Amino acid sequence: MSIIKLRKALDEKKVSSVELVQQAIDQHEKWIDKNAIAVISPYALFQAKERDDEREKGLIRGSLHGIPIVIKDNILYKDGTPTTANAFSLHDLIPPYDADVVRRLIDQGAIILGKANLSEFAYFMSYDDMPSGYGSMYGQVKHPFDEKIDPYGSSTGSAVAVKLGITEIAIGSETNGSLMAPAYQTQIVSFKPTFGYVSKHGIIPISPTQDTAGPMALNVRDCAILMDVIAGEDQKDPSTCHLPRPQSFSAHLDEALKPSKVGLITFKEHPYQDANLIVIEQATKRLQQLGHEVVTIDIENPELSNDATLLVEFKYAMNQFLSDVKGSTRMTSLSDIIAFNEANERRCLRYGQSILTKANETSGNLSDPEYIETRKALLEKASLFEHMMKEKDLIAVMSPFWMGFAPIYGNPSICIPEGVIDGIPKAMVFVGQKYDDERLLKLGHQYQVIQDNHKPNKK
């Protein structure tokens, strides 16, 4: 049920928030083996009763009043439960404050059902074949409908919770594809906003230049409504300040876009095969129905490794974060985490911690000339889509895969499921120009309406 339908049901008293939360808890318990949820908030039912009482008095806090949502377990929520990033080393991290994202959700009346599992440290833990969705705190998240399929990370639990109907909406986060990838694999919608549109404050970090929270849902409209809630300036995160912003991400979704061009990304010497060609043909027809022209753009197979910058950024950001929450966990530095894992090797180092140790060997200094030059060169490569869209007057580019350009350069992107073909989940990923999130969401919404009207093969 969409946010709009949930609001209508609540307004018409066909269901209460207490009932919605209890249904979510029941659904979580039904699918407990999938391990989507790390912890149910002890406040959830209490909050639901409060929202119901407020509704009875005619007090509606906002667009999410009385609606349950799960947040990724790297987002601080001061409900007395730990926020761990699925890392046993942070089992004692009881948040001293709410992340900006959480504050905005609660201000709009949302009920935080609990925290969703993820890949440990948002899949920035080890190079040694660590599975997506695994962590030493809560274990392995499983794919919602076919456990032979890799659920991908790191917002794995958030995606699985939505697909299983535990909640209709969730918040994940992305550094390098962690919203797009699990949405793709679980066949839900996810939106990664322009970097800086959503505050990072209160989120266990990887990269201060790439990290962002984002919405996950079954449809684009719900993602847009969530963006209206979670986006905004936050003085505690300078990257959010002084950016061009739309007044609303959701208000004009149904207004027709003027006929535009969408670039289909293809790769020289690596032609698309089989299922991807089916998805491309379907997507092209839908876009043409909307009046858009699809133009093919052939590029070299991208080599966008950002490990060299992320390792430096992770050490810097993690040490800064642990300083910010000092006293709320015994961990005070990345070195502490590494030492804790070594002392608890059997539980914590099943797949090693090669990324953590390699990061700790860097300077962790964002003013280091070598880091600055490496980051500059990386951004030049990652700007390819942005420059391409401007030069060719494209409303967006699309591909049946997610790629590193958008997360590294900060472009918005959206994943729309295309069904399971020959046992393999397929989706179309659209990337827009920076600060053009409203138009990208509008394109995605109208594309999904056409898709739904044609009832494609969905799982």
Catalytic (active-site) positions:
72, 154, 178
DSSP code per residue over 268-284: TTB---HHHHHHHHHHH
Q: Which residues pair with 294 in a beta bridge?
A: 262
Tokens standing for 323?
């300083």
**Nearest residue to 166 (alpha-carbon basis) of 120, 220, 122, 113:** 113
Residue type for position 355: I
Phi, psi angles (nearest 5°) of residue 326:
-50, 130
By DSSP bridging, strand 111-116 and strand 68-72 are: parallel
Q: How many CB atoms lie within 10 A of CB 427?
A: 25
Backbone angles phi, psi at 59, to 5 degrees: -100, 110
Quick count: other Cβ atoms within 10 Å of Cβ 15? 15
| CB-CB contact of 405 with 434 (8 Å) | no
Query: Cα–Cα distance between 361 and 339 in angstroms, integer?
Result: 14
Alpha helices per DSSP H over 31-98:
44-56
Q: Name the amino acid, one letter, at 257.
A: L
DSSP state letters, 323-352: HHTTTSSS--SHHHHHHHHHHTHHHH-TT-
Q: Parallel, antiparallel, or unpaired: how do β-strands 413-421 and 170-174 relate?
A: unpaired
